Amino acid sequence: MSHTGAPAISLQPDIAILNRLRAIQPLLLSLVGLVAAVVMFAWWFPALGRALPDGWQLMKFNTALGMALCSLSLHLSGRGGRRRMRGAALAALLTVMLALSALGMHAWGGGLGLETLFAGDAESSRPGLMSLQTASYLLLAAVVALLIRQRKSRFSSLADALTGVLLTTCLVVLAGYVFGAARLFGQEAEVRTSPHTLACMLILAFVAVARRSEYGYFSVIVALGLGSKMARMLAPVALLLPFLLAYIAAHGAARGLMASPYALALSTTLTSLVFFLLVVLMARRINELENDLRDLSLKDELTGLFNRRGCYLLGEQSLRDARRARSTLSVLYFDLNHLKRVNDELGHDAGDRLLCEMVSVMKLGLRANDILARLGGDEFVAVIRGDLHESRRVVRRLRETARARAANSPLEQGVSFSVGSAASGEPGADTFDGLVRLADQRMYAQKQAFRRGLEPADDAAGPGLAMNG
């Protein structure tokens, strides 16, 4: 949270993504409703069943009803209204009862009497009974649907945790399906999850995650921050790529293209490699971000020089180094002349150009390892190795450079500034801040003289220097 109490900008949701997710949900839920309705009608009307592709019967009537109710519940809870919310809760509760009934039947051979509402598949070992994994999934999905709009408190965390478990269940069932592990959850092969049931499961889990991203922990997926953008980009890769690689390996082995241990070794190596690349990618991006943040906090945007914070950070370190090396450090404090006039008469852009021209003059006249900073407005600082004689030489060089480059300045006579300098070891310059203050005072004295129309010689009036071009 920022000090204003509002969430930091990077944690705020990306409205465009939220809107896209909201727009797609009714479509997806209708698709689940349609599949469920077709299957339910096919159980009722055998003629319709015969017209459907083989395998539709793998979705039991109760499963189809549970999916339809779950999708209805998520649909109704999507938007306001107490009546809609009551309808959503009722649909979710009915799903809970259907699922509990089936689970009871699997666990101890007796349910709530709802476990086989339409047992048209008499030849199956358990006619009309949904599989254990489907019943577990529907129970979870229904509870998530009941809690889907929880914003605060423990219930919001519970809703997020259960959504995570729901997603995990989907992945387990998907893995069971892709790799033919029909006995996952201890099931017989004939009560395995059908592709259309799996599709409905994945869609409902996706909608649950999308909905939770508006309220709880999953909001990280839709936030504006760079981390969220990265998550949106990498999550599909992280979730699906291991499946794809393992699937290719398993099928390669099944078709005799490669012995099974080799296929396993290859897919594991590729998966490790891909995840390693993802980690490297993330590390690079985070480092770049850290660099940008450091630049933002230590540098001045207009000129690219260090700002006050950067100047003090490096200046204090340089002063410590200079003391250890028994050398002298000097600070030159510059104040541009006429910036206000240039702003007023020629515009703010011309004022900015004058500031940038000052930076060019400083860069040309100073060494690459000198510290250059803009403390704010039209005030600049240079931290150099050397005493006050060296400072004077630097100022003379800068003045010449400024005159030589007059054509680049919005002012006819070129960039013009007042400057004061102070060297370590002088009284009152024990600390870096002391050095800056002393140089500033001397600059100010010279500025006053300049305003009175005086033009002091480089070494007149002690260490303070002023020049106007």
Ligand X SMILES: Nc1nc2c(ncn2[C@@H]2O[C@H](COP(=O)(O)OP(=O)(O)OP(=O)(O)O)[C@@H](O)[C@H]2O)c(=O)[nH]1
Smaller CB distance to ligand X: residue 86 or 341? 341
Separation in Å, CA 351 to CA 198, 252, 331, 377 = 65, 69, 25, 10
Does the footprint of ligand X cover residue 339 (CB under 6 A)?
yes
Q: Work out which of 191, 355, 375, 398 binds ligand X, going by CB under 6 A.
A: 355
Shortest Cβ contact with ligand X: which residue?
A: 351
CB of 465 to ligand X, least distance (A): 15
Q: Work out which of 268, 343, 408, 441 binds ligand X, going by CB under 6 A.
A: 343
CB of 353 to ligand X, least distance (A): 8
Judged by CB under 6 A, the chain residues 125 through 164 that form the site for ligand X are: none
Q: Work out which of 33, 128, 351, 464 binds ligand X, going by CB under 6 A.
A: 351
Name the one range near ligand X by CB under 6 A: 54-62, 158-166, 351-359, 403-411.
351-359
Q: How far apart are CA 240 and CA 268, in angstroms?
A: 14
CB of 469 to ligand X, least distance (A): 12
List 335's β-bridge partners, or say none: 379, 418
Q: Quick check: 140 and 165 in contact, CB under 8 A?
A: yes
Judged by CB under 6 A, the chain residues 371 through 410 that form the site for ligand X are: 377-378
Q: Quick check: 104 and 117 in contact, CB under 8 A?
A: no
Query: Which distant-in-sequence residues (6+ apart) come within 8 Å of 302 by Cβ?
Result: 352, 355, 356, 374
Does the footprint of ligand X cover residue 440 (CB under 6 A)?
no
> Residue for token digits 């030489």?
393
Candidates 431, 195, 178; CA nearest to 320 is 431
DSSP annotation of 13: B
What phi and psi, each to the nearest 5 degrees, are found at residue 169?
-60, -45
Does the footprint of ligand X cover residue 341 (CB under 6 A)?
yes
Smaller CB distance to ligand X: residue 377 or 428? 377
Separation in Å, CA 198 to CA 27, 45, 204, 372 = 17, 23, 10, 63
CB of 338 to ligand X, least distance (A): 5
Smaller CB distance to ligand X: residue 159 or 355? 355
Interface mask toward ligand X for 300-319; x: CB under 6 A = --x-----------------
Q: How far apart are CA 24 and CA 222, in angstroms?
A: 15
Smaller CB distance to ligand X: residue 68 or 339? 339
> Residue for token digits 């793998």?
58
Does the footprint of ligand X cover residue 323 (CB under 6 A)?
no
CB atoms within 10 A of CB 449: 17
Residues binding ligand X (CB under 6 A)? 302, 335-341, 343, 348, 351-352, 355, 377-378
